[in-house]
Amino acid sequence: MSNAPEQKAAAPTTGATSIGFVMMCIGMFMAILDVQVVSTSLPTIQSALAIPPDEMSWVQTAYLIAEVIAIPLTGFLTRVLSMRWLFVTSTVTFTLASLGCAASGGFATLIAWRVLQGFSGGTLIPAVFSAVFLLFPVSRQ
């Protein structure tokens, strides 16, 4: 008798599963890339919106705080919505928040959109790692 925990046999991986997982990885990549893109764009954002230098750190901080709050909540949200609906909702929200950031005409509006963008992006990252365990057999993980 083995002391190893039993592994539930995952269904065979289909092409649709693989394509769906690749799309999830692209969504996660966009959420991670956003931090880097905004970081390099801070001088442009500052001049475009006339943001004082002492307030510029909030453009990054708002996103990162929301992301850090969302990451541990992802398990709960997955149980409530399901992995599929959480990812779809987060991707749509992230996209709309990105458009809102682009259309922002002032500092407060930009920060509000960045918080929404960070929260939705924060759920994308752990959802992809969870998907690996849910969608693929142990041999393919």
| Side-chain half-sphere CA neighbours of 76 within 13 A | 5
Q: What percent of the chain has pLDDT over 70?
A: 89
CA 73/CA 60 separation, integer angstroms = 21
CA 53/CA 22 separation, integer angstroms = 39
CA 14/CA 18 separation, integer angstroms = 6
Rounded to the nearest integer, the mean pLDDT of the chain is: 87
pLDDT score, position 102: 93
pLDDT score, position 114: 96
pLDDT score, position 10: 52
| pLDDT(113) > 90 | yes
Terminal-to-terminal C-alpha distance of the chain: 25
Band (132; pLDDT cuts 50, 70, 90)? confident
Band (100; pLDDT cuts 50, 70, 90)? very high
- In the DSSP assignment, the letter for residue 104 is -
